[in-house]
Chains A and B, each alone.
Chain A
């Protein structure tokens, strides 16, 4: 139910109140728009271009879900959230899902009452230092000054790592990533630490990237994934299996180039057939139609294609697949079967 009501005496507000607390899937379908929480800007993961069109590795998940549910990858309202507002935005229903490089941790999953629906990027905290410093390992960093973003898990990981190795450091607290870049380049700290993906992206912007090395140690596990509110399992399933469809598509060789052809008629791989709706009716179990996965993959291709386009080695971010390769290639990316 939609009802326009006036609020306030001088300023007018349009308040759209929906009475029934129906499932998020129904709400999204009724609104004809997916409200997706993204970050205010992380290189390769989420950014708006000069025309205000959002793109990036995290944004691609939103677009795939919108395509699967609404049939249109552009029916999305992107809500930029900061590290401080992201969880309340999701909990209060301001967004339907959050795809905002958020680390899956115990307390966020349990205590904050969210459901992480999977992992779309396995990250870990690393160190970058100038080559001139002559360190080969993070264990050589005794007494170093370290630029670190405050209020993040990286801060705690850093303290743990140095304590475990019984060496000392001096933190230089920094609020934003760009400030950290400027401080590091100005020599305010010897070492800069953040997630390895962020280090690679930062290093790519330097005037002389070869003067800086990313040290081999990865000192934490940072599984980043999309999340939804706890308790709405149907919606959680939709988002989870959309991500799984992208992952399975890579494993099964479904790409943006051949997905239309494979979906037009049943082929000889039964799992592809089930996924793309040419056999059985998996979509109905999810509350969607038969070709939901077809549409999700059709937006930007499978997981591997999305990876290569946004953060892969051909891009300035230049990340290798590493842990994020398919399990068949020695990585951790693994989708349960479509059966």
Chain B
């Protein structure tokens, strides 16, 4: 052993970094108090957050959940938190929760919308996530008809006849395009189902129903309300607007003059009109055009209008994606000898849609929130229902609680859509 005892033979223990360079303090210094203007802004922001929360949180938590009226709420809150305390009357949500979700849908049939809602995730899963077996897409194709049947009830033959129309169209295309050109086949594929739906299917469905009765209790549209109505209108609008939008966007770029004029005219007309105007047309004007006594379901009229509106916007969003593709992609597809449909399906659309994802999803979110406009034409969506709930003597005067709850549910839906779109963008990221 050496006698130089002051030579250290092992390393010093690592010391913790200085307080100012680690943990929360470092983070605070770097992010909130890095210089004087930032510090001032941080303090102002913190004060603002505190100011809002110090009012909102006590209000939200000094609440009453089990009262039967606003008056009872107030006395329960006064009893629990002292005279003069003001708190939220969440009892109204507790009392009317099912109504806010399902509207006036018969209570014993609640399982139907719930089942359809759950199945919706099964149906959209193969579209959203590509790890799943492609066979699930078959269920996705049947799903709209199943949903229609379960929600509105009635005879099963009714949706089956609609499916039959598509099958007929497909067959007509096969047969006619072999006999004549594919353009004639296309026309036949459109005409045959329309003729079938307009003139034959109703009678056939009635006949089949009388031979083999397959029906469940039907529910009239006026029983629809609450979030169920918003989601029904929103989901149908969203799922139909994408394909229609794609067709319109392609039509707008088409070299066929008539197709192009029709598509441009449609898009520009619908986009030039506010949604609320279209809804008024659906609720009031259309009735004047129908023969007297015609009862064309109001919710259906609204769904059609919402879908048209969303499609026009979707078409423009997708056109943006198409325009962003380098011309070389189109030319490359042509040089491979692909025809129009092949190149669109295999080369153009996958890229254009990828570019458009953020905009597509924000259109979806916008559309879903726009469904609350139907309260203006007297449909009882969550906003309409909140007016109705307030018209009951027990709950007259409850404002913030209802709007807060509705806002929270809408936020949940829209936030999940937006997170999904971010996931999709990351997954499809091919840039370097």
Contact B391 A13 (CB under 8 A): no
Which of A5, A82, A178 touches B377 (beta carbons < 8 Å)? A82
Decide yes or no whether A277 CB sits under 8 A from chain B. no
Contact with B along A303-323 (1 / 0, CB 8 A): 000000000000111000000
Residues of A within 8 Å of B141, CB to CB, are none
Nearest A residue to B403, CB-CB: A178
Decide yes or no whether B294 CB sits under 8 A from chain A. yes
Other A-B pairs, 5, CB within 8 Å; known A16-B294, A43-B396: A85-B284, A89-B283, A89-B284, A202-B396, A315-B393
Residues of B within 8 Å of A82, CB to CB, are 376-378
Contact A77 B222 (CB under 8 A): yes
Residues of A within 8 Å of B397, CB to CB, are 181, 202, 205-206
Residues of B within 8 Å of A44, CB to CB, are 393
A–B Cβ pairs within 8 angstroms, 12 of them:
A4-B206, A18-B292, A27-B293, A42-B391, A43-B392, A47-B392, A81-B378, A85-B280, A85-B378, A93-B292, A94-B298, A176-B387
Bound Cα distance from A46 to B396, whole angstroms: 12
Decide yes or no whether A329 CB sits under 8 A from chain B. no
Contact with A along B296-321 (1 / 0, CB 8 A): 11101001100000000000000000
Q: Could you say which of A48-56, A145-153, A154-162 contacts chain B?
A: A48-56
Given the known interface contacts A6-B198, A15-B296, A81-B378, the answer about A40 and B399 at a Cβ–Cβ threshold of 8 Å is no
Bound Cα distance from A199 to B280, whole angstroms: 30
Bound Cα distance from A46 to B389, whole angstroms: 11
Contact with A along B184-221 (1 / 0, CB 8 A): 00000000011001100110011000000000000010
Bound Cα distance from A315 to B396, whole angstroms: 13
Given the known interface contacts A17-B293, A82-B376, the answer about A205 and B396 at a Cβ–Cβ threshold of 8 Å is yes
Which of B96, B107, B378 touches A40 (beta carbons < 8 Å)? B378
Decide yes or no whether B410 CB sits under 8 A from chain A. no
Contact B387 A92 (CB under 8 A): no
Residues of A within 8 Å of B294, CB to CB, are 15-18
Bound Cα distance from A7 to B201, whole angstroms: 10
Contact B288 A92 (CB under 8 A): yes
CB distance from B282 to the nearest CB of A (A): 11
Which of B197, B222, B295 touches A16 (beta carbons < 8 Å)? B295
CB distance from A187 to the nearest CB of B (A): 15
Number of residues of chain B lying within 8 A (CB) of chain A: 63
Decide yes or no whether B137 CB sits under 8 A from chain A. no
CB distance from A32 to the nearest CB of B (A): 13
Decide yes or no whether A12 CB sits under 8 A from chain B. yes
CB distance from B75 to the nearest CB of A (A): 11
CB distance from B248 to the nearest CB of A (A): 15
Contact A88 B287 (CB under 8 A): yes
A-B contact count (CB 8 A): 157
Bound Cα distance from A3 to B205, whole angstroms: 12
Nearest B residue to A51, CB-CB: B107
Residues of B within 8 Å of A84, CB to CB, are 280, 376-377
CB distance from A90 to the nearest CB of B (A): 10
Chain B residues numbered 88-127 whose CB sits less than 8 Å from any CB in chain A: 95-96, 99, 103-104, 107
Bound Cα distance from A16 to B300, whole angstroms: 14
Contact A94 B287 (CB under 8 A): yes
CB distance from A310 to the nearest CB of B (A): 9
Nearest A residue to B384, CB-CB: A40
Bound Cα distance from A46 to B95, whole angstroms: 19
Q: Could you say which of B15-23, B154-162, B356-364 contacts chain A?
A: B154-162
Contact A85 B296 (CB under 8 A): no
Residues of B within 8 Å of A337, CB to CB, are none
Which of B220, B300, B391 touches A43 (beta carbons < 8 Å)? B391
Bound Cα distance from A4 to B280, whole angstroms: 26
CB distance from B205 to the nearest CB of A (A): 7
Which of A4, A15, A77 touches B220 (beta carbons < 8 Å)? A77
Nearest B residue to A31, CB-CB: B295
Contact with B along A1-43 (1 / 0, CB 8 A): 0011111111111111111010000010000000000011111
Decide yes or no whether A79 CB sits under 8 A from chain B. yes
Decide yes or no whether A111 CB sits under 8 A from chain B. no
Residues of B within 8 Å of A79, CB to CB, are 222, 378
Residues of B within 8 Å of A88, CB to CB, are 283-285, 287
Residues of A within 8 Å of B390, CB to CB, are 41, 43, 178
Decide yes or no whether B148 CB sits under 8 A from chain A. yes
Contact B284 A6 (CB under 8 A): no
Contact B293 A13 (CB under 8 A): no
Residues of B within 8 Å of A176, CB to CB, are 387
